[in-house]
């Protein structure tokens, strides 16, 4: 399929069908798509696109050859993002080696080719200001006559022919239990797997239905994994398809080496290797003058495919005892790989630890990121090499390998650090803790914030991502509540094992941190004064302290002490009957992968938080209403109390007045009331002191 970003173009492609996606918005982000099929006229196919894309370019041609610079306008940058988003969608929905995109504006067009290493863009070719559209016509005509492989399709993958209906039905029946219902609408595909590298010994054919996980990104490994049915053995295997870096380990060869050297609990390889003639070619063209689409830094990739036995994922473990057994088997596989094959895994995660349904034993899979550790020959040449670390990198490029949530605290804090056995053993601990938090009852622990703080901490400093400080705090029991007091419904040995493992990691991290600090001090001192100069004996003291710490042997110096204590905890738990069957969650939610379980936990927590906020708001409203109602009642009661208190005071005052009145005239209480009600005359003043007046006054009083 050719994706067309065509504007004001009339194209005739006889061998393909051209679809105007403006009428089918769900089909693609591109304006036109070309499919294999009949001819379709393009008379009205450009109306939707011409409104937005007229005369700008998505690339800047005025730059040094070999550098990717988007257009200077904001609209040009947005269109470029749209182009790459569509190409990513094409690559992840189809089995492709590369894709082609035709960008056409009002005056010229560009051809863009993209593979798993990057993008190549041609220079401008005019098409509108010429009498005939020869360049564009020539390109479309040539594309119309390309084979499927030349158009970028992977010819080792094909649909089952219509005449093989019986074979297709058998494949569906065999794979149905492995494919989720929402993915069963896709077709059955036949896929060829090389027996060995470059298919020197031939191919084997298998049938797949739908991948367990879809590939993502363009310039990535694009790992695709799915169950594959073998008609010859009538058995389902596990198929893995990826684009490995050119100089990385061949995973099929690594697993083959593990099997040949008797590495316990390693996956059993059926067949696999690099696919012949399927490599990225972008790196071959980045220096060409016509290319304006790719940065000079590139990473060539090779298409790799393998088949191994099918195993069950870690999160389907049966109990805490089974979980400890699976993790112990994975640790044993890791140890054997280092000691027997000098291979360091470097990517322990919950997806890379599985278990065999028949033997119930754990399997350590996904060895595509492993690294070589020093061999005896390497150690003889350079005794300073660490036998439990990867070989020093030849390139100066800083590289960290692993799955971020489970990488060790030191790797996250120190970009460029060599990967060691202890880093992988710490990753094993974080995988166990992650699974326990999601699949076991954890009492009062708020799981979601704890997972976010420990596993998804990330800080960006000068463009470099760092983390690990919360993991370091957890190992040192700083800022985290005691986690190891699990509920009684969980087997006690699991909590004991966690505490033991955490203690060992604590000792190792502190030991390693002290070593780094002393080495940095010694290096800085020698850099300042020179190696031969030792003022005040500081260098000697630092070397002595460094030697003492190096002589110390923490328990996690190797595998021995860890696995001995691990074994002792399990045996003691079995002897004392401390293991509980089915002590994990077994509801429908916890039959799914951790990503799904964590998503459900987040949703539940969001609902609970919202409900709590609603309850608090309602409680506050009720409290306000009660206070308001209480204020009204208190006001009414206050008025009544005041009135009631005023009435006794008035009555007593009246009584006092009546009593005073009665006493002043010599009447009783009843007489005093009568006197108060009857009008009285004011007594006259006595007359002057003469006899006549006195006599007249007496007469008046007598007359009254």
pLDDT tens profile 571-587:
999 999 999 999 999 99
Strands (E), 523-633: none
**Are 500 and 610 found together in one domain?**
no
Q: Would you say residue 12 has pLDDT above 50? A: no
Identify the pLDDT of residue 197: 82
- The per-residue DSSP string of 252-297 comes to HHHHHHHHHTT-TTPPPEEEEEEEEEEE--GGGTTTSTT--S--S-
Identify the pLDDT of residue 132: 57
Q: Tens digits of per-residue pLDDT, 374-399?
A: 999 999 999 889 999 999 876 545 57
**Are 551 and 599 found together in one domain?**
no
- In Å, what is the CA distance from 443 to each residue of 89, 101, 398, 436, 474? 43, 55, 41, 12, 18
Determine, yes or no, domain membership for 387.
Answer: yes
**Are 331 and 375 found together in one domain?**
yes
Domains in the chain: how many in total? 2
Identify the pLDDT of residue 46: 29
| Better-predicted residue by pLDDT, 565 or 83 | 565
Q: Encoding tokens for residue 195?
A: 């027996």
Confirm if 341 and 263 have CB atoms less than 8 A apart. yes
**Are 524 and 597 found together in one domain?**
no
**Are 357 and 504 found together in one domain?**
yes
Residue 224 pairs in a beta bridge with 241
| Nearest Cα to Cα of residue 52 among 72, 68, 30 | 30
Element at 615 (helix H, strand E): helix 594-665
Q: Encoding tokens for residue 62?
A: 């005025």
- In Å, what is the CA distance from 445 to each residue of 308, 438, 451? 39, 11, 11
pLDDT > 90: percent of the chain: 43
Determine, yes or no, domain membership for 526.
Answer: yes
**Are 540 and 482 found together in one domain?**
yes
Q: Model pTM greater than 0.85?
A: no
| Nearest Cα to Cα of residue 478 among 500, 510, 456, 448 | 510
Identify the pLDDT of residue 157: 94
Please give the Cα distance from 159 to 155 (Å, whole number).
Answer: 10
Determine, yes or no, domain membership for 405.
Answer: yes
- In Å, what is the CA distance from 88 to each residue of 82, 93, 191, 219, 593? 10, 9, 22, 9, 25
Confirm if 428 and 348 have CB atoms less than 8 A apart. yes
Identify the pLDDT of residue 681: 44
Q: Would you say residue 296 has pLDDT above 60? A: no
| Nearest Cα to Cα of residue 512 among 622, 423, 595 | 423
| Better-predicted residue by pLDDT, 324 or 111 | 324
CATH number at residue 408: 1.10.510.10
Q: Tens digits of per-residue pLDDT, 329-343?
A: 999 999 999 999 999
**Are 579 and 597 found together in one domain?**
no
Determine, yes or no, domain membership for 86.
Answer: no
**Are 437 and 549 found together in one domain?**
yes
Residue 445, Cβ density class (10 Å: 0-12 exposed, 13-18 middle, ≥19 buried)? middle
- In Å, what is the CA distance from 482 to each residue of 178, 445, 450? 40, 10, 12
* Mean pLDDT value across the chain: 79
**Boundary-marking domain end, from 603, 627, 651:** 627
Determine, yes or no, domain membership for 327.
Answer: yes
Structural domain boundaries enclosing 602 = 592-627
**Are 553 and 607 found together in one domain?**
no
Identify the pLDDT of residue 534: 59
Q: Tens digits of per-residue pLDDT, 352-377?
A: 999 999 999 999 999 999 999 999 99
**Are 496 and 573 found together in one domain?**
yes
Determine, yes or no, domain membership for 35.
Answer: no
Q: Encoding tokens for residue 226?
A: 């799915």
**Are 569 and 596 found together in one domain?**
no
Determine, yes or no, domain membership for 413.
Answer: yes
**Are 424 and 331 found together in one domain?**
yes
Confirm if 100 and 323 have CB atoms less than 8 A apart. no
**Other CB atoms closer than 10 Å to residue 17's CB: what's the count?**
13
**Other CB atoms closer than 10 Å to residue 81's CB: what's the count?**
13
Q: Would you say residue 214 has pLDDT above 90? A: no
């Amino acid at each position: 399929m050719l994706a067309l970003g065509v504007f004001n173009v009339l194209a005739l492609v006889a061998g393909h069908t051209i679809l105007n996606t403006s009428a089918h918005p769900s089909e693609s982000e591109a304006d036109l798509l070309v499919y294999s099929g009949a001819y379709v006229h393009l008379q009205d196919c450009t109306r939707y696109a011409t409104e937005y894309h007229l005369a700008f370019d998505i690339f800047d041609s005025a730059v040094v050859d070999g550098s990717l610079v988007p257009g200077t306008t904001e609209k040009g940058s947005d269109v470029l993002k749209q182009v790459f988003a569509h190409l990513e969608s094409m690559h992840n929905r189809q089995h492709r080696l590369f894709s082609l995109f035709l960008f056409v504006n009002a005056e010229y067009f560009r051809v863009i080719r993209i593979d798993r290493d990057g993008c190549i863009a041609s220079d401008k070719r005019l098409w509108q200001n010429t009498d005939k559209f020869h360049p564009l016509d020539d390109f479309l005509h040539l594309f119309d006559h390309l084979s499927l492989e030349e158009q970028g399709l992977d010819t080792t993958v094909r649909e089952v022919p219509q005449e093989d209906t019986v074979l297709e039905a058998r494949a569906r029946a065999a794979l149905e239990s492995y494919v989720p219902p929402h993915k069963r609408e896709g077709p059955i595909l036949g896929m060829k797997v090389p027996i060995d590298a470059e298919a020197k010994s031939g191919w084997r054919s298998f049938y797949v239905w739908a991948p367990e996980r879809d590939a993502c990104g363009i310039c990535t490994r694009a790992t695709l994994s799915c169950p594959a049915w073998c008609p010859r053995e009538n058995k389902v295997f596990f198929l893995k398809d990826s684009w490995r870096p050119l100089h990385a380990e061949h995973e099929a060869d690594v697993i083959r080496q593990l099997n040949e050297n008797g590495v316990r609990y390693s996956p059993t390889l059926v067949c696999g290797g690099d696919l012949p003639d399927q490599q990225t070619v972008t790196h071959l063209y980045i220096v060409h003058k016509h290319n304006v689409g790719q940065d000079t830094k590139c990473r060539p990739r090779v298409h790799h495919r393998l088949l191994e036995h099918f195993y069950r994922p870690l999160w389907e473990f049966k109990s805490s005892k089974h979980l400890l057994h699976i993790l112990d088997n994975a640790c044993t596989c890791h140890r054997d790989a280092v000691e027997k094959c000098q291979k360091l895994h470097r990517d322990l995660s919950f997806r890379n630890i599985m278990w065999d349904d028949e033997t119930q034993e754990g399997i350590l899979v996904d060895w595509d990121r492993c690294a070589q550790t020093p061999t005896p020959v390497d150690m003889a040449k350079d005794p300073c090499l660490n036998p439990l670390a990867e070989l020093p990198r030849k390139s100066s490029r800083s590289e960290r390998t692993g799955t971020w949530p489970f990488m060790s605290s030191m790797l996250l804090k120190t970009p460029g650090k060599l990967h060691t056995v202890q880093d992988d053993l710490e990753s094993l601990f974080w995988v166990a803790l992650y699974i326990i938090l999601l699949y076991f009852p954890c009492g009062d622990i708020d799981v979601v914030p704890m997972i976010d703080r420990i596993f998804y901490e990330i800080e960006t400093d000068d463009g470099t991502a760092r983390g690990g400080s919360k993991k370091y705090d957890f190992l040192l029991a700083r800022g985290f509540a005691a986690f190891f007091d699990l509920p009684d419904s969980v087997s006690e040995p699991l909590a004991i094992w966690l505490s033991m493992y955490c203690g060992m990691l604590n000792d190792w991290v502190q030991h390693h941190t002290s070593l780094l600090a002393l080495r940095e001090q010694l290096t800085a001192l020698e850099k300042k004064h020179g190696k031969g100069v030792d003022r005040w004996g500081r260098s000697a003291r630092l070397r002595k302290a460094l030697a003492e710490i190096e002589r110390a042997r923490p328990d996690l110096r190797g595998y021995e002490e860890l696995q001995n204590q691990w074994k002792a905890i399990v045996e003691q738990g079995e002897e004392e009957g401390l293991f509980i069957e089915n002590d994990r969650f077994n509801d429908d939610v916890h039959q799914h992968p951790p990503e799904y379980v964590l998503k459900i936990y987040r949703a539940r927590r969001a609902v609970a938080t919202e409900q709590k906020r609603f309850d608090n708001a309602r409680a506050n409203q009720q409290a306000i209403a009660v206070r308001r109602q209480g204020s009204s009642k208190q006001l009414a009661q206050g008025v009544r109390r005041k009135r009631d208190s005023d009435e006794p005071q008035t009555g007593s005052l009246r009584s006092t007045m009546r009593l005073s009145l009665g006493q002043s005239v010599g009447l009783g209480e009843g007489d005093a009331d009568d006197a108060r009600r009857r009008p009285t005359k004011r007594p006259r003043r006595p007359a002057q002191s003469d006899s006549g007046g006195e006599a007249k006054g007496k007469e008046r009083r007598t007359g009254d």
